[in-house]
Structure 1
Amino acid sequence: MAASLFHDVPLKAKVIGWGIIFIPLATLVLLGAIFLRPEAIDQRLVWGCYVARDAPPLDIREDAIYIIEPARRRFSYVAEPSKTSYQLNVRPALLLKREPTGRYAFASTQGTGFFWPLLPALGNNRDRVRHPQEFAGRIQVAADGADVVYSRTSDADACRR
């Protein structure tokens, strides 16, 4: 019968030894959970009028996101950090679907909502925002077949239909 490596070590010494190993590790995990949280993002950072090629403009306001279309639908959102970036948590689940005309339109789909990543400036070596100041007024929206990138515009008429 094989003997354990620590068979002759008293229980008190085993407890002290395991404490020396696990207490510092638990402290590091706790400090990481406290201090490595992503910074909250201010909702006002994403407000504005957004346009994308062949897609209806979006007017992001304090209370909701308005789709600039004849039906003038709106849906709720929250700007929030995720594990690796920042995103808009939008509800209900609306997906951009391509119509026969070649343009996109928002259509209801299964699910409770979607997460739309906030993007940094074009040419950046990253594809996601890691800090709120990196947000360059670009949002990636889920679409049927490919993602559509919306960009904030200073043309106020784009959202006044």
Structure 2
Amino acid sequence: MKHKILLPLCAAGLAAGLLLSRVMLGEPNRVERTVQLFTQACVPYYLGGLDTPPADLGLIKTDMFPQERRWADPVSASFLVLGEHSCTISTNAPNALTQAEGDVLASGIEQVVASEFPELAFDPKATLGDDVLFRAWMKGQVASPQRWGVSVYVFPDRGERSGSLVSLMIPRSSQK
């Protein structure tokens, strides 16, 4: 009889402890975590390799195809995908970012670009419509193998097609 009471009590205590530790340790919100992943995964990937394996960043391997390199992040509800010439962090409905979160994300990524990639220029002409937040910092001629840069694409008001994309595109002339 006491086990029937003790077991749920212990489980509730463990759950409360985990929640309290998240609050006390200041786990980042979804946007902060996305900027953190960009800094910890995409920036080093561009520079030649990951300093920390994705699993050590709290990511869960979710490859769907044999050569794919894809991980899920339970904190930001996003996916990190490492391509031959790209590093992308994306969200999809029902976990899409809101417009307000998209604005904060763009500001956070802009700060990373300014500190890590000062050679990239903001492209004020980069727009994709009134219902889309799109920011791009690029270098190189359009459609050239040397073109590279960072973009933030947030489309929050499209129902089941809502989502976001933060991408670091590596020059196609670079070998990974």
Q: TM-score range by the shorter chain?
A: under 0.3
TM-score normalised by structure 2 residue count: 0.26
- The structure whose residues are more often helix, as a share, is 2
Q: Which entry has the higher C-alpha Rg, 1 or 2?
A: 1
Structure having the higher strand fraction is 1
